[in-house]
Amino acid sequence: MPQELPQYWRSLEELAKTEEFRAFVEDEFPNRTPDWNDPGSRRRFLTLMGASIVMAGATGCTVQPKEAIVPYVRQPENFVPGNSLFYATAATYGGIATGLLVESQLGRPTKIEGNPLHPASLGATDAAMQASILTLYDPDRSQAVIHRGNISTWGNFVSAITTARETAATKKGEGLRLLTGTVTSLTLAAQIQEFLTTLPSAKWHQYEACGRHSVRAGALAASGQPFNTIYRFDRANVIVSLDADFLSSTMPGNLRYTRDYSARRRAAAERASETPPRLYVAEGTPSIAGGMAEHRLRMRSCEVEAFAAALYQELKEPSSGSTAIVRAIAKDLQAQRGASILIAGEQQPAKVHVLAHAINQMLGNAGKTVLYTDPVEAKPIDELQSLRELVKDMSSGAVETLLVLGGNPVYDAPADLNFLQEFKKVKTRVHLGLYADETAAWSHWHLPAAHFLESWSDARAYDGTVSILQPLIAPIYGGKTSHELLNVLEHRTGRTAHDTVRDYWQGQHPAADFQEFWQRSLHDGVIAGSAFAERTPPIIQTPTLGTTPSSSLEIVFRPDPAVGDGSLSNNAWLQEMPKPQNKMTWDNAVWISPKSAQHYGVTTGDVVELQFQGRKVKGPIWMLPGHADESLTVHFGYGRTRAGKVANGIGFNAYALRPSTDIGHGVGASLTRISSGYPFATTQHTQTMEERDPFRAATFDDYHQNPEFANPEEKHVADETTLFPLWEYKAHKWGMSIDLTACTGCHACTIACQSENNISVVGKAEVSKGRHMNWLRVDRYYQGSLEDPATYYQPVPCMHCENAPCELVCPVAATVHSAEGLNEMVYNRCVGTRYCSNNCPYKVRRFNFLLYADWDTKSLFGARNPDVSVRSRGVMEKCSYCVQRITEAKIESEKRNQALTDGEIVTACQQVCPAQAIVFGDLNDPKSRVSQAKREHRNYGLLEELNTRPRTTYLARLRNPNPDLEKG
């Protein structure tokens, strides 16, 4: 290791400067194909090719299939080819809804956007929501009713379950059980309640693998009653996160929280009079929130409770015995009484949530930055206890019929409950799910579920707002909804989900204007006035202060940053999305700090056997800077056996170690090294900018004192310094600005770009060779020590350089400049010399080494944007600034005979961004947002010393550290 670290570095391999790393970086276009001769590698590629991954072409054939086009003989009335329609609906994660607008092209959904009218979305989405369009068309989805391993029919199931129901009815439902995830649907809850009223001895259980178990338990422990907590980050000047990644997709309301938090940061950057928020994050596993923190307090997850207790004590009665960090944070919080937030992580135990509520109440935050409402769950219960009761009843033989609606407990139930062992004792087992998964494999009946884009339903958002879910397409594979299954149990077999939902709301609304109410609710995507009213803050009991945790090795359980709890494992877009923290794809790993790795004699790529509470799994090691010492982190979503052809056999199953008693983390783990050389596919050093200055950061105070810090004179090159004459753009002059102060590195922009532009995935083997195809990457930089570095993120699309190095070397003029300043790719001209990529200093161009686009799986055709071509082998492609959106807006403006207005053109990456970090527009308009951004002092161009004059520029990152804690 070098004695002196560079200011910004990207990986441990870069610091070590190993021969393998140097060879990988310097060999830009290697012939990395010897593994193609390996039958095992070829077999895996062919397996993926025929699955739901958007790729194919192992033969390398570039001849596309013949396509016949036939015009309409009788064109449908009011139909205009090429015009798309948007419909409002919602997606749920853990039962909590987020409002969406879904684009429909020729009657098929093709692109998902956020609903600007929905309080949880405000027009943004996350990566998982963007990728759900691919899940809709996944050919691995369940496509038939299965009875004992054989294809059956819906009618046969109705007959069988009706008989079982009637048998149970003779005993008032005794022996009949329902197991659902967390339910916020008012309609479904009403159906279940009606069913339980008819059969009072039947029981309803709920369980979510990554549910809000500790949140609910914390509320009950804090006040003795369930409640929901909403945080107003737009009002908070000081935020203390107790292992809470409130900026990630795992927390309800995260999109709104990201918007509010980032808006405060942008406002403080633009106006010195604004108070910038200050974020402290106490955590052991690096997170998105930790990357945005002014002060990341690295500690084991099990030590967060002691930290929170010490902070509570210091606020209650200051003591000289407190640490300097605790005293400084307490002082900061006291100075911002009523304008601060303590937020506890969903994986932290109930005691930490009680401490957070107590501190918020002590500081006067309740009712100001921390609001309380009724629970959003239709039946707020202790889901872990509910699952324990179900398992106990199955073990005793008390369960004769069990209907699992949408979950996969055989895969994700806590390991100590031995769910599968007891599940086998149930006489009639029914599973409703999108996939014939691990639970379906052990069920007597499996029913294909409808995707949310095929379903009628309703659900509540994080603040209680209700959305009506309406389908964009009829069920592709004949899927059924939970509403339809409950109708069968209530002898309403022919009743549709639409009628069920509509009838419920008709019963809740005056008949006189119901039709208007219904149409307005469907159109807007929200039911007006349905958000919960703020409740009087509960009386928080005095928290019980815990003891110092054991010093033994800790293991931390977390949903995967890409595929979450595993329900999205078969989604290839998410599998190939680099995880924000380590840029790894197609895998999970055992995360460990460099110091602990040295202590235990392991390194990245070593396979170890993990043991925890008598259970064992094997997984590969990944050394992650910033991770807490004496702690391991494992992620869910992998080790699947029946997820689909994409996900089966990838990674290891962390659920196999997770007990119900230590649902978030526990101490007493051990690891044993088994072997070495496990291959990872990572993008973190595929492109490098070594010995350059790609990232620029300063404090808010330093910026206001020295506004030109991002553009030092010695590195500034005037725009006029060029060998070529300056071109005058008379019409439009497109440009982009990316605010690094707001960007959280969530990668939603990456998946939005993939969905919008028909970008293929390539698989793990190709990614490991540096051949990933994403047009937009998010670079992750470290600054500081190996043990506790600061983390920064920088999205890098095509720069659309004014002096574009790629254009000079293309022998066939495939990459050219448009009259509006776009660097364009003419695919039909490209012959694949790759000179342009070699000459691009930003390395943002992607080459189709193989025929990655899938021309064979017909169901996947529906996911493609018809406004963007699907590329073949042998051509170069890159970010186009969503030229199809630019063209569409220009055509519409010409139809109206009106000039384009600022904000009328929104790129896919800009539209999805919850932090509003990306701005696009016309530089010829001095009042446009992008023009104003580029006039800011902190605006700078990436590698501007090369005089490429990029149209994409950045606003430097600003921080607001506590002067008492800022390191020299």
What CA–CA distance (Å, rounded) separates 319 from 802? 60
Could you tell me whether strands 615-623 and 590-592 are parallel, antiparallel, or unpaired per DSSP bridges?
A: parallel
Number of Cβ atoms within 10 Å of the Cβ of 744: 23
pLDDT at residue 872, rounded to an integer: 85
pLDDT at residue 217, rounded to an integer: 85
What CA–CA distance (Å, rounded) separates 633 from 601? 17
**Residues near 410 by Cβ (< 8 Å), separated by ≥ 6?**
419, 420, 423, 437, 438, 439, 441, 442
Q: What is the pLDDT of residues 65-119, one digit of tens each?
A: 444 434 445 555 655 666 678 889 999 998 999 999 999 888 889 999 999 999 9
Would you tell me the crossing angle of helices 350-362 and 304-316 to the nearest 10 degrees? 20
Could you tell me whether strands 401-405 and 428-433 are parallel, antiparallel, or unpaired per DSSP bridges?
A: parallel
Look up residue 159 and give its amino acid. Answer: S
Q: What is the pLDDT of residues 278-312, one digit of tens each?
A: 999 999 999 999 999 999 999 999 999 999 999 99
Q: Mean pLDDT over residues 920-948, rounded? A: 91
Look up residue 215 and give its amino acid. Answer: V
Of 168-177, 209-218, 710-719, the one with minimum mean pLDDT is 710-719
Nearest to 361 by CA among 345, 342, 346, 375: 342
Nearest to 209 by CA among 410, 52, 369: 410
> Do the Cβ atoms of 467 and 87 come closer than 8 Å?
no
Q: Where are the alpha helices (DSSP H) in 150-287?
A: 154-169, 186-198, 213-223, 254-270
Helix H or strand E encompassing 739: strand 734-739
What CA–CA distance (Å, rounded) separates 523 from 525? 6
Query: What residues pair up with 779 in beta bridges, in sequence order?
Result: 794
pLDDT at residue 907, rounded to an integer: 95
Would you tell me the crossing angle of helices 324-335 and 304-316 to the nearest 10 degrees? 60
| In the chain, % of residues over pLDDT 70 | 89
Higher pLDDT, 785 or 389: 389
The token pair at 822 is 């776009």
For residue 10, what pLDDT band results from cuts at 50, 70 and 90?
Answer: low
What CA–CA distance (Å, rounded) separates 28 from 109? 38
388: helix, strand or coil:
helix
Q: What is the pLDDT of residues 825-856, one digit of tens each?
A: 999 899 889 899 889 988 899 998 888 877 77
Residue positions counted in the chain: 968
What CA–CA distance (Å, rounded) separates 181 from 383? 9
What CA–CA distance (Å, rounded) separates 248 from 257? 10
777: helix, strand or coil:
strand
Q: Where are the alpha helices (DSSP H) in 717-763?
A: 748-756
How large is the greatest C-alpha to C-alpha distance in the chain, in angstroms? 90
Q: Mean pLDDT over residues 514-525, rounded? A: 90
Q: Whole-model pTM? A: 0.91
C-alpha distances in angstroms, 931 versus 370, 611, 825, 928? 37, 57, 25, 5
Query: What residues pair up with 231 in beta bridges, in sequence order?
Result: 370
**Cβ-count burial of 133 within 10 angstroms (0-12 exposed, 13-18 middle, 19+ buried)?**
buried
128: helix, strand or coil:
helix
Q: What is the mean pLDDT of the chain?
A: 87
Q: Is the pLDDT of residue 141 over 70?
A: yes
E strands, 772-922, are 777-783, 790-796, 815-817, 823-825, 846-847, 876-877, 918-922
pLDDT at residue 452, rounded to an integer: 94
C-alpha distances in angstroms, 506 versus 395, 512, 540, 861? 42, 10, 39, 38
DSSP 209: T
What CA–CA distance (Å, rounded) separates 194 from 784? 60
Q: What is the 3-state secondary structure (H, E, C) of 264-328?
A: HHHHHHHCCCCCCCEEEEEECCCCHHHHHCCEEEECCHHHHHHHHHHHHHHHHCCCCCCCHHHHH
Give ∠ CA 156-421-444 in degrees, rounded to 5: 5
The 3-state DSSP composition of the chain as helix, strand, coil percent (nearest 5) reads 30, 20, 50
**Distance from the Cα of residue 129 to its chain's centroid:** 7
Q: What is the pLDDT of residues 775-815, one digit of tens each?
A: 999 999 888 888 889 999 999 999 999 989 999 999 999 99
pLDDT at residue 17, rounded to an integer: 63
| In the chain, % of residues over pLDDT 90 | 65
The token pair at 64 is 């596309």
> Do the Cβ atoms of 14 and 690 come closer than 8 Å?
yes
**Residues near 508 by Cβ (< 8 Å), separated by ≥ 6?**
none
Give ∠ CA 24-28-29 in degrees, rounded to 5: 115
Helix H or strand E encompassing 82: none
Q: Is the pLDDT of residue 858 over 80?
A: no
Q: What is the pLDDT of residues 167-176, one digit of tens each?
A: 999 999 999 9
Give ∠ CA 356-345-186 in degrees, rounded to 5: 100
> Do the Cβ atoms of 767 and 573 come closer than 8 Å?
no
Higher pLDDT, 220 or 420: 420
DSSP 33: -
Q: What is the pLDDT of residues 491-509, one digit of tens each?
A: 998 899 999 999 999 998 8
For residue 60, what pLDDT band results from cuts at 50, 70 and 90?
Answer: very low
Q: Mean pLDDT over residues 207-228, rounded? A: 87
**Distance from the Cα of residue 874 to its chain's centroid:** 32
E strands, 740-867, are 777-783, 790-796, 815-817, 823-825, 846-847
Most confident of 23-32, 719-728, 890-899: 890-899
pLDDT at residue 114, rounded to an integer: 93
> Do the Cβ atoms of 922 and 732 come closer than 8 Å?
yes
Q: What is the pLDDT of residues 648-668, one digit of tens each?
A: 999 999 999 999 999 999 999
DSSP 540: P
Chain position carrying tokens 């949530």:
353
**Residues near 55 by Cβ (< 8 Å), separated by ≥ 6?**
48, 49, 572, 760, 761, 762, 763, 852, 853, 854
Q: Which strands, in side-by-side order, build the sheet including 96-105?
A: 85-93, 96-105, 108-114
pLDDT at residue 332, rounded to an integer: 94
Nearest to 134 by CA among 774, 864, 746, 645: 864
DSSP 651: S
The token pair at 786 is 């190996």
Give the CA dihedral 909, 915, 918, 923, nearest 10 degrees: 140
What CA–CA distance (Å, rounded) separates 824 from 387? 56
What CA–CA distance (Å, rounded) separates 183 from 446? 21
Would you tell me the crossing angle of helices 154-169 and 482-489 to the nearest 10 degrees? 50
